[in-house]
Amino acid sequence: MYLKIEHLSKKFEKKQVLNDICFTFESGKIYGLLGRNGAGKTTFFNCLNRDITFESGNFYLGDNNILRRITSEDIGYVLSVPAVPEFLTAREFVKFFLDINKGVIDEIQPIDKYFDYIGIEAEDRDKLLKDYSHGMKNKMQMLVNIIAKPNILLLDEPLTSLDVVVAEEMKLLLRSLKEERIIILSTHIMDLALDLCDDIVLLNHGILEAVDKNNLSSAEFKEKIITALKEETHA
């Protein structure tokens, strides 16, 4: 399976943020989308998720030589600041989600099984989400995004504000999820990208560009990325 992006362009007034992007992401990999502040990483995700309008561009999902347009069910989008309905308990949120996605989700499991999977303790499952910590909210957001098994998972700065334990749990989770889907995570923290991601893609001057590791040591690879970002900035 692969995600094909064709001629994606987006500008804010006169500023061209995404400049005729053509790129293919493959399943089974975690892609690290690296870029400087303001490079357009979130805009790129918002376009893919059709949260904002854009000048041109098409997105397709390809599988076994069949190419089809992406629907909203194909995408799970995890924001850096976790957004969960605060007036619901965790159990109610999952129940609501399962209710309205009946027919879409293949094998619905008992709710507690999902909590076991994501690591939400039994005593927290019937608490209001407004009383959840940042890390727990993040887990809930992630859980709801993966229950429906979307083909594409977009993660915007996912681990930056989590404590070390939750961050490690999330890394393990993401690695376990990558097999049957395309995972793209945006970050501006290079060490995180190098640690977690299989491929690094740079977003600079509105263009996506894969960085080839080519048997480089991790220090050399870092250097190559920084040089690329610097060079393109001054280009």
Residues of this chain that bind other proteins (CB under 8 A): 13-14, 46, 49, 51-52, 72-73, 75-77, 79, 81, 83-89, 92, 95-97, 99-101, 126-128, 130, 144-145, 148
What is the nearest approach in angstroms of other proteins to the Cβ of residue 71?
9
- Cβ proximity to other proteins, 31 vs 97, nearer residue: 97
Q: Which two three-digit tokens encode residue 221?
A: 């690879």
- Cβ proximity to other proteins, 111 vs 211, nearer residue: 111
C-alpha 213, offset from chain centre: 22
- Cβ proximity to other proteins, 25 vs 221, nearer residue: 25
Distance CA 45, CA 82 (A): 16
- Cβ proximity to other proteins, 127 vs 205, nearer residue: 127
What is the nearest approach in angstroms of other proteins to the Cβ of residue 231?
28
What is the nearest approach in angstroms of other proteins to the Cβ of residue 183?
16
Q: Which two three-digit tokens encode residue 156?
A: 């915007």
What is the nearest approach in angstroms of other proteins to the Cβ of residue 72?
4
Cα torsion for 77, 83, 88, 93, to the nearest 10°?
A: 10
What is the nearest approach in angstroms of other proteins to the Cβ of residue 127?
7
Q: Are strands 2-12 and 75-78 parallel, antiparallel or unpaired?
A: unpaired
- Kindly report the number of other CB atoms within 10 A of residue 85's CB atom: 13
- Cβ proximity to other proteins, 26 vs 126, nearer residue: 126
